[in-house]
Structure formats: C-alpha cells, structure tokens
Amino acid sequence: MAILTQAPRGTEDILPEESVQWQVLEEVMRGEASLHGFGEIRTPVFEHTELFQRSVGDTTDVVQKEMYTFLDKGGRSITLRPEGTAGAARAMLEHGVYNGGLPVKFYYFTSCYRYEKAQKGRLREFHQFGAEMYGSAAPLADAEVILMARSIFDRTGLSGVSLELNSIGCPECRAKYTEALKAYFGEHREELCSTCLDRLDRNPMRILDCKSPECGRVAAGAPRMLDYLCDDCKAHFESVKEALTAAGVEYTVNPSIVRGLDYYTRTVFEFVCELDGKPITVCGGGRYDGLIEELGCQPMPALGFALGMERLLLLLRQQNIELPSEEPCELFIASLGAPAKMAAFRLCDTLWKSGVKAACDVNDRGLKAQMKYADKIGAKYSIVLGDDELAAGKADMKNMETGEKKKISLGENFLDDFLTITTMDEDLSF
C-alpha cells in the first residue's frame, strides 16, 4: 500500500511493542532520580534562539551547524531544543525555584533536535533522560550525579560501561590554556578545517571536539588542560575522584574529553560502551558553573548529565538484555448477535474497572474471525457468548494455551469466578 509520505530522515516511530520497553527504562530512571531527591520538569519543545546561542555557545557545532531555527509568524527567531539543560535552567530562573532552597534538583525526559548525519545511534530527533542540580559547588555534588548515572546502568544490567573523567578548569586557568592552544594550533593552521580556523582565535578548545579526522590528528598532540589547572580546580578534581573511589566507582582520566557545549567547566565525564565494536558515548555531563550567569542572572554553580535513550536501548539489545514486553490480553469475549455483543461489552467493562486487561469484538466480525483476532493479541483466555449462554447465565471460559474449559458466571459472580479460575491456573503452573 502506497502512503502519502514517510517519516523524515533521522526520525523514528516508537511503536507500542517498543514503547513498553521505553516505559520500563523510564521507571528505572524515575526511581533513581527519586532516591536522590530530583523532581521532574517539563519544558517547551522550542525556545527563543538566543537562549541556546548564549548557553550552548556560538562556536559549537550545535549552534553553527545543527540547530533547527526558524522565524515564527511574529518574526521572532525560534529554535527546537538541541539539548535539555538550557531550557531547564531558564525555567528554574524564570519561576524562581531557587527561592525554595538550594540545591535545586530537576530531572526530565525530553526530545531534542539536531540536524546532523543520521546514522545508527545518532538521530536528528532523539530522546534524553537528563538530571540537573543547581546551587552546589561541592565536589560531592559531582560525585552524586555520576553515581546516579552509574546506578541506572547497573539497574538495567548493561555491562561493559566505562566511566571517563576530565577537568576543563575554570575561566581563570582556562585562559592560560587557551593561549597555549592558540600557539599550538597556530603552528598547524594549514592542517585545520575551515570551521576550526574560525575557532582558532575565538575558542580553540572547540578544535579538540572537531569530528574531522585531520583536526583529530592535530588535536592528539595538543597541550592538556590538566597541566594548566589552577590550585582550586586541581583540588576540586582530586576531591571528585576521592569520592568516586570511596563509593567503589571505577573510572579513567581521559584528558581529551571537553564535551561539545561551551557551558561546561571543571568536571566533565562520559560513560562509554561499545556498539558494533566501536566506542559510543551513552551518557555525558559535568559541571557548568558559568551557565546561570551567562543567562543574565547572579552566578550559581550547576551540574548534571544527559543519557541517550535510543543509544541505551541499542546497547541493551546488542547485549541481549531482555526488557519486559507488553502484558497480553487476559480475556477475549467473543459474541454472536446484538444482545451477546452488548453483554460482552458490559463484562469487559467490569474487568477494566478492576484493572484486568480484556477485549471484545468492536468490528462486527464473525466468530471465526473473532477467535483469530484473539490469537493475534495473545489472549490467555476466551469466552464465546451466544443466546444459549445468555439464557443460562453461564459460559465456558477457555484456557487458550491448554484448551481446558471451566464454567464462569455471567452475573454478579463473574469477576470472582474469573479471578478464582485464573488464580488456580497460576498455582498449577508452578
């Protein structure tokens, strides 16, 4: 069958059988967030463009190449959110949530939009679970959000996930590092791509994050930020590592991690796992103490992470980790004739109100087609209602797996009989 159009490139439909798995993961994440005192926030899918230009950074790939930006009918520049942190920070400030005490802790499930090459594990519309903490400058806060992300992987059963850490310092010590990078990359100017040539004077750290293989080779020999950390940043990083060690969390210091957004400071981290034999970042985050000031308010320390939902699901499937599937229909009630159809609907309503998954025919199909449908939806039990069953006030309830039939009342005792029969069958199965 030909259809008018297909889903845009870089987007995916999440069908019911898969959305159940998303819900399972979301419940794991909600549970972990609740343990740490994080409350859910939901922000608009689009914001004023300047929010992302100021927070993400106009020298990043996201702002320069990937944002979906357009003018609305009022002539205002609007951008579909490319990440979740800026919107959460804006909402925290706009509504004065910080007046209720610090730290403020948010979590969110959000869709994000970036125009980039669509490929496995990298979509133009993708989804994240994110956690944000505002108002704590303590290294223990860094360790807590890292532990929170680590625990999510542990609870899903995903293996082979490694934690990589780095510190990219504060504005003071980074100024010296920036000069060192300018000097180094200036000597390799001819080897840089045009985008990185533009970054060289404005923000040479962005060159370290360039996806170009040529720039990557040059960046491999660049000075390391860890060698330029001021005493305060060194002490902060050492305290973060000490807290992680105390909690039994293994990590590797990776000096090449800078993250792709300009708002990061001090601690940055990534959780990396192999997908099809290649390393892939499934979760990344860190500290962004300058973000709130960049948005025009008084300075406030902040930190957090974002975890890619699609990437996590790909990794779980690669490792053959089974997530619960949708519960099948408990009872399908077939019907012959108008009175039986109405009775089937009434009985289903009784089950629905009691939290039992049930179904009846709503397509005016014949009995054979109704029973074929019952098989397709995996119904555990079935009942066929006709004039004889209605007159007797009883029917046969059939176990679709064993074929065994038991009498069930169609009157006041219907629900009790149903629960008794199904409970007995469950007991016999053990």
Q: Could you report the per-residue pLDDT of 380-392, keeping only the tens digit for each?
A: 999 999 999 999 9
Looking at the chain, the whole-number percentage of residues with pLDDT higher than 90 is 83
Residues 175-186 pLDDT 10s: 899 999 999 999
Which of the four pLDDT bands, split at 50, 70 and 90, describes residue 300?
A: very high
Q: What is the mean pLDDT of residues 165-173?
A: 94
CB 168 within 8 Å of CB 225: yes
* Alpha carbons 67 and 87: distance in angstroms, whole number: 15
Give the helix/strand (H/E) hosting 41. Answer: none
* Alpha carbons 204 and 200: distance in angstroms, whole number: 5
Q: What is the mean pLDDT of residues 198-202?
A: 86
Q: Supply φ then ψ for residue 149, to 5 degrees.
A: -65, -45
User: What is the set of domains in the chain, with CATH numbers?
Assistant: 16-170+239-318 (3.30.930.10), 173-229 (no CATH), 331-424 (3.40.50.800)
Task: Determine how β-strand 265-275 pairs with β-strand 302-308.
Answer: unpaired
Residues 77-129 pLDDT 10s: 999 999 999 999 999 999 999 999 999 999 999 999 999 888 888 899 999 99
Q: What is the mean pLDDT of residues 137-161?
A: 97
Q: What is the pLDDT of residue 59?
A: 64
* Alpha carbons 360 and 381: distance in angstroms, whole number: 12
CB 189 within 8 Å of CB 197: yes
* Alpha carbons 184 and 208: distance in angstroms, whole number: 12
Which of the four pLDDT bands, split at 50, 70 and 90, describes residue 244?
A: very high
Give the helix/strand (H/E) hosting 385. Answer: strand 381-385
E strands within 17-81? 39-40, 46-48, 69-71, 77-80
Q: What is the pLDDT of residue 418?
A: 97
Which amino acid appears at position 179 of this protein? E
- 241: Cβ contacts below 8 Å, ≥ 6 apart: 165, 251, 253
Predicted TM-score of the model (pTM): 0.90
324, with CB counted inside 10 A (0-12, 13-18, 19+), is exposed
Q: What is the pLDDT of residue 61?
A: 72
